[in-house]
Amino acid sequence: MFKYYRIFLLALFFLHSIQGKEISSVSYQAQVLPILEKHCIQCHGPEKQKGDLRFDTLSIDFLKDRAAAETWHDASDQIKLGEMPPEEENPLSEEERKLITEWIDSNLEKALRDIKGEQSEAVIRRLNRTEYQYTMEDLLGFKMDYVDGLARDPLSPDGFLNNGKVLGMSSLQIEHYLKTARNAFQLILNEEEEPTVKVSEVKWNKGNIRGPSSKLYVGKSDHRLGRVNYWHGNFQQPPKSGRFTIRIKARSEKNPGYPSPILEGSYGFFVSGLTLNIQGSLPEVEIDSNETKTYEISSYAKLFPMTLANVPDDKINGVLTFRNSLDDGNPLPKQLEKITETKDKKGKIKKKKTNYYPEDPNFSKIIIESVEFVANDYSSWPSKIHQQIILPEEDLNNERTAKSVISRFLTKAWRKPVDSETSDKWFQHFKKISRDENSSIYALRETLATSLASTNFIYLSELKPNESKPSKLSTHELAARLSYFIWSSMPDVELRALADEDKLHDPKVLAAQVQRMMNDRKVNRFAEEFSKQWLDLGGVDRVAVNPRYHKNFDNRLKPYMQAESLEFFKEIFRKDESITKIIDADFTMLNARLAKHYGLEGPKSQRFERTSLQGTNRVGGILGHASIHLSGSDGAESHPIRRAVWVRDRLLHDPPKPPPPDVPGIEESVKDFEKLSLREQLEFHRKKESCNDCHRTLDPWGIALEEYSAVGLKRGKTTVHKKPITSDTILPGNHPVDGVEELQNFILLHRKDQFAHAICSKVLIYALGRSLTLEDEILVNELKNEFVKNRFRLSGLLKNIVLSETFRWH
Amino acid sequence: MKVLDKSLMNRRTMLKASGICMALPWMESLAGSSSSQPPKRFCSIYFPYGVSLPNQDSEFSHWNWFPKGEGKNFTFNKSLEPLNKFRNQVTVLGGLCHPKVKRIGGHDSGDTFLTGEEMSLKANGLKNSISLDQFMAHTHRLGSQTRFSSLALSSDGGTGMPTRANTLSFSNTGQPIPSFNRPAIVFERLFGLSGESIDAQRKGLTQTGSHLDLLLDEAKSMHRKLAKTDQDKLDQYLTSVREIEQDVERSAQWLDVPRPKVNAEGLSLDADNETPEKLIYTMLDLIALAFQTDSTRFITYQLASMHGAISIANKFPSLLGFPKDAHGLAHGAGKGVGAENKGKWDLYQTRCFTYLLNRLSEMPEDNGSVLDNTCLLYGSSNSKTHNNTNYPLVLAGGKNMGYEHGQYLQFDNNTPLSNLFVTIQKKLGSKADSFADSNGEMKEVLAS
């Protein structure tokens, strides 16, 4: 990555202690330069430029030369963390250290205060995939997959998905917005005539499932669903549109103390004469009672595959399949053979071999008694979601009414007041289509769909009256910034009302809103989105586990590994526990399968539950999670550098510099290099001076995690070369550690403040949707001090960020 | 034929056979000229992290990607061996690079493979310039005669991030053009039937056209109120809407021309990142079909980007049973058995490319094959990992455009690859004399 992309933001421990002081009394010429000459210039001067740095020519004008200011900042941090000068060189005396860091820090602070407000980093940003999905759901009150086919969003240099600079726009995206909104409105805004309800019995079919989906099912078609077997049925003339409900009469058969079985269904069609079932999945239902009950699943026909081919309706059959998706982590039973004897007509005994799966008496089962399919099942007509857009008493054919329907929708969708000129323009558009096509409901669908491809909807726009001067966000802009931060979606009714009343900048009102929002379920979206991006949990998907070295690895574990870390963060966040538990905790979040993988006693289903680690051999905290071990591997062997980069970047917010272009490969100069373990290779690496500059302070962070294999299990030997594990290493500043527990202790003892600073930076980056600049350092340090005082509670951090001027102004 | 309906040859044969006299658009453009010429096409396929380059005296020297010998007298080493079948349809190029891109990070050069310019830092981030395919398809309107002007494909999809783009194609403003990575979506786009009548589709397009006016209007009024950097950001939106406008116009023109009937049976349209072999071969099938049906004439396909940390395609080798992921193989390639491991992966990729050549060569067109009317550029922007010089490159096909193949040409490292781009664009029919940092043409690849 390009160097100018990086912003060096390490812990600044000093700003508060010296606030208000005048610029340093330390003289560069008389005091600082001699120290540089004595300790630094040798490696960072005319002869050598280790790390691409030289101090003899580095500008000391912090105000004019920002790049130099950032380099000085970095230098100060490294000196304070004891990383520079390196161990083998003469250390700075206490006085020298003080002089040089005070000179850097005070000049820096002066410069920061002088330039504050001069530059604005924020740019308008478009909704990313997740925000678009949630906004559409919340706005329309209708759940469907709004992002199917929409390209993945780009990651920012800091690893986040909501960075305005990086999020681009293309014609394919706008086409997607338009098409998706059109599809949604076709389902939401109903025609005038109410369709008739039609109930069909779904007949159980004892035949096997055919076609590609059969792979997903084990066993035979049955009414009794355990670890294996499925229920398979069909009915005639599946609807091509409209809302439907599937009614299932079923009961569970579960023993006390065992989890409820989970019914997983899929719905679609098959064409008589062909062998292909084409289906989409339905939402899961927990069958929670041993008494027979009716369970209902509703959805829309258009959300499921439907044949486009020219097949007569009577040849198309609806098809439903169900199975029990309860996962207690145990393997499927092995198929057995039994021989049954039957007598034929002549009384001759015939032996017949049949295959069967033995039943596990403790595994909770589902017994399906009957299934009904109800087409055109609306609890009211027009549907409720229709009535949220067009109120029951409103008549679209009345122009004034139509106009107010449109203007009401635009105001809500665009998250701001819409002036009458604009809403009139959209009304005229509606009127024209309505006239041309002679359908007001069609015209409304088209008009509203278009408004959801408009810049006003797609971009979080913050209009700035004066480019160079900071100004307050409008209350509606603030409401939007706030709700996208905490809910990944648009403001709700209450936030909109407060914005309308212009009350949102009042700190008391704002603080109360943050509190209210954090009590809402939608706050889970923050927990999920932030933790996924901060901890880079997507890394798990980018590594394929190599079956040669990890025999029988079950790929179902990969999403569970991600879920462990995500649920772990969510648990800490929702219970408002100290975020230092990310580093070390006495619990983790597990489900049955992952617990089995770790060799632990745990939950009995696929649901994640808080599980104590006391008395087990697993360490708590994120460094004990398989997600991190697997992302930091090549699928076969652990990859200490990847792990080290992750720790430095994600936990300490101190990413190492990328390797320079054209670095010579170490492997070319060492005999039999490829036969060495990665760790041994790294040792050679560090012996080479050009590599050592960077790897000296990098590798140890990953080596300490060597006791974990690629798939997150403890091991005594390396996976590929079967050599004994060594996880003892020396962290920068000459701190020896051996293994993950000592690494955790080291961070909590020596780097707790840096960790706090890192969290504050990461949350702020996410909240603002942009990278931080040196100017933000003042705020980050204030946030950090409060955060530490507040015993590392995220709730307080979120509130302080929202209340800060940086968040409320631009 | 593996995937085509038996009854179906190429589109023009099909039309001829059914006795329908329908002028194809590229024929229209030649109205007045007495002989119709076949279409001219361009396709670029990119792979990351360079190739295995063990020393000629090492025990693994046969895994060196570049051939032995030079000129017409060369022999392929192992990695390019599958190309032997097409020896007279390919030219291997050595020594070339984009000189301006030498100084950027080793893993940063992928975005510039077809653009040739060093990216510049603007207020809104790193900015690239137009890629060769877009320059020909759009700027020089060579893509205007088909249903789709161009098509960008990749294994990861979308745009990715600057220096780690998931696409080879960049617009005239340097914006990455999102690539498709799901075969089912590509198929649907190229050959799908909407199920609606032509009138209904036309109505839909007219409607969309009027919506776009409104969207432009709305965007412009927001544009006026924004700060400068934000205006730049919104320009992307305005440009995109205008592009859709053109697409809508184009789609309307194409409504009456039936979509080519292509049978999806045999195509693994459900292939995804977990089944790389299926995915890559299906994409190659789709490229061949898109060319054969003359649905588009410009296609780029990025097999993977150079970002272990972002590219899902990085794990393809591991999924296929290679000892490491793509990045890992490249890093171990310097010496010993690592050169062989990487070499085997190079060979795997060559097989994929050869498969495409084979498909194209089996598709008859006029007196030759689709391959004879398609210029393909296969290669990487690294020689070995971290090194932005001496790109491994294969130029293939396009015999009817005047290429002379069956050669291994070596250049000195100051020859800009863009010189080749100038020759390619001229042979495809553009009049431009330069591209990016070019300082001439590359006549060596042409028949004298």
In whole angstroms, what is the distance from residue B193 CA to residue B262 CA? 11
- In percent, the amount of chain A with pLDDT more than 90 equals 60
More confident residue, A262 or A307: A262
DSSP 3-state of B36 = coil
Domain of B317 in residue numbering reads as 41-182+272-445
Residue after which a domain boundary falls, among B234, B258, B282: B258
Rounded CA separation B353/B342 (Å) = 17
Paired residues of A267 in beta bridges: A280, A320
Residue B17 has pLDDT above 80, yes or no: no
> Which has the minimum average pLDDT: A572-576, B185-189, B442-446?
B185-189
Q: Are A761 and A744 in the same domain?
A: no
CB contact under 8 A, B335 and A673: yes
Residue A226 has pLDDT above 90, yes or no: yes
Residue A120: both structure tokens together:
């604005």
Is the per-residue pLDDT at A2 higher than 80?
Answer: no
Lowest mean pLDDT among A262-276, A483-497, B89-103, B277-291: A262-276
Q: Does residue A309 register a pLDDT over 60?
A: no
**Whether residue B302 is found in the same domain as residue B155:** yes
Choosing from B212, B227, B258, the residue where a domain stops is B258
User: Do residues B276 and B392 share a domain?
Assistant: yes
**pLDDT in the model for residue A13:** 32
- Note whether A36 and A152 are same-domain residues: no
**pLDDT range class, residue B76, cuts 50, 70, 90:** very high
Phi, psi of A381, deg, nearest 5:
-135, 130
Among A31-45, A429-443, A670-684, A704-718, the range scoring the smallest mean pLDDT is A670-684
Q: Please give the average per-residue pLDDT across A455-477, as a whole number.
A: 84
The confidence score (pLDDT) of residue A33 equals 85
What is the percentage of chain A residues whose pLDDT exceeds 70?
Answer: 91
Among partner residues B157, B225, B328, which is closest to A634 by beta-carbon distance? B328
Domain boundary among A115, A147, A176: A115
How many whole angstroms separate alpha carbon A579 and alpha carbon A585? 10
Answer yes or no: do B412 and B333 share one domain.
Answer: yes
Identify the domain boundary among A115, A134, A154.
A115
Q: Identify whether A510 is part of a domain.
A: no
Confidence label for A206 from pLDDT (cuts 50, 70 and 90) = confident
Q: Higher pLDDT residue, B37 or B422?
A: B422
Same domain, A139 and A233: no
Give start and end residues of each alpha helix (H) in A24-123: 33-39, 66-80, 94-115
Looking at the structure, tell me whether residues A218 and A356 fall in a common domain: yes
Mean pLDDT of A544-561: 92
| Partner-chain contact B336 A464, CB within 8 Å | no
A-interface mutation test, from B100, B196, B229, most A Cβ less than 10 A away: B229
Q: Which residues of B touch A545 (CB under 8 A)?
A: 318
Residues A155 and A212 in one domain: no
> pLDDT tens across B334-360, in order?
767 889 999 999 999 999 999 999 999
Q: Which of B258, B281, B297 is the last residue of a domain?
A: B258
Over 80: is that where the pLDDT of A718 sits? yes
Closest partner residue to A455 (CB to CB) among B160, B218, B388 is: B218
| Same domain for A172 and A40 | no
Dist. CA A106–CA A26, nearest whole Å? 9
Instruction: Specify the pLDDT at position A121.
Output: 57
Q: What is the dihedral of CA A432, A435, A438, A442, to 10 degrees?
A: 20
Cα distance between residue A74 and residue B33, in whole Å: 69
What does the pLDDT average to over A623-635? Answer: 95
Are B157 and A170 inside 8 Å of each other by CB? Answer: no
- Same domain flag for B308 and B170: yes
pLDDT tens, residue by residue, A644-664: 999 999 999 998 877 665 555
**Which has the closest alpha carbon to B132: B44, B193, B65, B213?**
B44
Predicted confidence at residue A439, as pLDDT, reads 92
User: Hey, are the CB atoms on A1 and B108 less than 8 Å from each other?
Assistant: yes
A28/chain B closest Cα distance in angstroms: 33
Q: Are residues B104 and B150 in the same domain?
A: yes
Give residue B122's pLDDT. 58
Q: Which A residues, 138 through 157, put their C-beta within 8 Å of a C-beta on chain B?
A: 149, 151-157
pLDDT at A70: 79
The pLDDT score that the predictor gives to residue A213 is 66
Q: What is the pLDDT of residue A116?
A: 57
- SS3 percent helix, strand, coil of chain B, rounded to 5, is 40, 15, 45
Q: How confident is the model at residue A14 (pLDDT cuts 50, 70, 90)?
A: very low
Residues A780 and A742 in one domain: no
Distances (CA, A) of A513 to A215, A509, A516, A797, B429: 50, 6, 5, 14, 63
Contact B244 A459 (CB under 8 A): no
Instruction: Give the ipTM.
Output: 0.83
* CATH number of the domain enclosing B369: 3.40.720.10
Confirm whether B277 is domain-assigned: yes
Contact B237 A2 (CB under 8 A): no
Which of A4, A154, A450 is nearest residue B121 as measured by Cβ atoms? A4
Give pLDDT tens digits for B77-86: 999 999 999 9
C-alpha distances out from residue A395 to A185, A389, A449, A455, A606, Å = 18, 12, 20, 29, 49
Q: Are residues A221 and A102 in the same domain?
A: no
| Shortest alpha-carbon distance between residue B342 and chain A (Å) | 13
pLDDT of residue B309: 60
Q: Which of chain A's residues have a Cβ under 8 Å away from the Cβ of B102?
A: 661
Asked if residue A475 is part of any domain, the answer here is: no
> In this structure, are B231 and B343 located in the same domain?
no
The total of other beta-carbon atoms located within 10 Å of residue B70's CB is: 14
According to the model, what pLDDT value does residue A258 have?
Answer: 94
Examine the domain organization and report whether B115 and B251 are in the same domain.
no
Do B105 and B221 reside in the same domain of the chain? no
HEC sequence for B319-337: HCCCCCCHHHHHHCCCCCH
A-chain CB neighbours of B385 within 8 Å are 665
Question: Do B177 and B293 have their domain in common?
Answer: yes
A67 touches chain B (CB under 8 A): no
What pLDDT, on a 0 to 100 scale, did the predictor assign at position B20?
27
Q: Which residues of chain A from 245 to 304 reach within 8 Å of chain B, CB to CB?
A: none
Q: Note whether B211 contacts A453, CB cutoff 8 Å.
A: yes
Residue B20 placed within a domain: no
Q: Which residues of A touch B225 (CB under 8 A)?
A: 463
Does residue A675 belong to any structural domain of this protein?
yes
Domains: count for chain A = 5
**Which whole number is the average pLDDT over A383-392?**
93
**Domain identity same for A742 and A794:** no
Helix (H, G, I), strand (E, B) or coil at B60: coil
Domain-located, residue A8: yes
Strands of A663-792, DSSP E: 728-731, 735-738
- Per-residue pLDDT for A122 more than 90? no
Smallest CA–CA distance, residue A249 to chain B, in Å, is 34
pLDDT tops 90 at residue B228 = no
Is A518 a member of any domain?
no
Is B6 part of a structural domain of the chain? no
* Residue A487 located in a structural domain: no
Tell me the chain A residues in contact with residue B228 when contact means C-beta distances shorter than 8 Å.
467
Compute the 3-state secondary structure of chain A and give helix, strand, coil in percent, each to the nearest 5: 45, 15, 45
Q: Sorting pLDDT into bands at 50, 70 and 90, what band is A535?
A: very high
Cα–Cα distance, B335 to B332 (Å, whole number): 7
Query: Rounded to whole angstroms, how far apart are CA atoms A355 and A334?
Result: 10
User: Is the pLDDT at B43 greater than 50, yes or no?
Assistant: yes
CA-CA distance, A111 to A771, in Å (whole number)? 20
The pLDDT-based confidence of B26 (bands split at 50, 70, 90) is: very low
- Could you tell me if A267 and A411 lie in one domain? no
Which residue in the set A459, A464, A674 is minimally distant from B332, CB to CB?
A674
Cβ atoms B160, B310 nearer than 8 A:
yes
- Supply the pLDDT for residue A407: 97
What average pLDDT does chain A have? 88
Q: Say if residues B31 and B314 touch (Cβ distance below 8 Å).
A: no
Q: Tell whether A665 lies on the interface with B, counting CB pairs under 8 A.
A: yes
Angle between helices A739-750 and A752-768 (to 10 degrees): 80
Count CB-CB contacts under 10 A for residue A273.
7
Is A503 domain-assigned? no
Residues B113 and B229 in one domain: no
* pLDDT score for A57: 82
Given A98, A115, A132, the domain boundary residue is: A115
Contact B334 A672 (CB under 8 A): no
Closest residue of chain A to B244, computed from CA coordinates: A171
Nearest to B167 by CA among B183, B186, B184, B152: B152
Binary contact (A123, B157; C-beta < 8 A): no
* Chain B nearest-CA residue for A156: B161
Domain region containing A8:
3-115
Report A:465-494 residues touching B (Cβ under 8 A): 467
Return mean pLDDT, chain B: 85
From B193, B215, B318, residue closest to A546, measured CB to CB: B318
Domain identity same for A705 and A589: yes
pLDDT given at position B15: 31
Residue A244 host element (H or E): strand A243-253
User: What span, in angstroms and rounded, lies between the C-alpha atoms of B165 and B110?
Assistant: 7
Q: What is the pTM of this model?
A: 0.83
Q: Bigger pLDDT: A542 or A453?
A: A453
pLDDT at A667 over 70: no
Percentage of the residues of chain B whose pLDDT score is greater than 70: 89
φ, ψ of residue B185 in degrees (nearest 5)? -70, -40
Instruction: Tell me if B162 is assigned to some domain.
Output: yes
Whether A701 has a pLDDT exceeding 90, the answer reads: yes
Question: Within this chain, do residues B328 and B422 fall inside the same structural domain, yes or no?
Answer: yes
Min mean pLDDT across A269-273, B6-10, B55-59, B172-176 is at: B6-10
What is the band of B23 on the pLDDT scale with cuts at 50, 70, 90? very low
Residues B295 and B236 in one domain: no
Mutation site, A6, A123, A278, A720, interface B, largest B CB count within 10 A: A123
Domain contains A507:
no
Give the one of A461, A539, A658 whose C-beta lies nearest to B222's C-beta. A461
What distance in Å separates residue B39's CA from the closest CA in chain A? Answer: 26
Nearest to B334 among A168, A634, A665 (CB): A665
CA dihedral B241, B242, B245, B246 (to 10 degrees): -140
Q: How far is A169 from chain B (nearest CA, A)?
A: 6
Task: Report the pLDDT value the prediction gives residue A430, as an integer from 0 to 100.
Answer: 97
Residue B264: inside a domain = no
Instruction: Name the E strands within A288-394.
Output: 293-300, 316-324, 336-343, 349-356, 365-375
Residue of A nearest to B317 (CA): A544
What is the interface size between A and B, counted as CB pairs within 8 Å? 205
Contact A674/B318, CB-based, under 8 Å? no
pLDDT at A8: 32
What's the average model confidence in pLDDT over A257-277?
82
The reply to whether residue A174 touches residue B328, judged by beta carbons under 8 angstroms, is no
Q: Which of residues 159-198 of A touch B (CB under 8 A)?
A: 164-166, 168-175, 178
Q: How confident is the model at residue B124 (pLDDT cuts 50, 70, 90)?
A: low
Considering its fold, how many domains does chain B have in total?
A: 2
Average pLDDT over residues A767-790: 93
Over residues B1-8, the mean pLDDT reads 33
pLDDT of residue A747: 97
Contact criterion met (CB below 8 Å) for B315 and A547: no
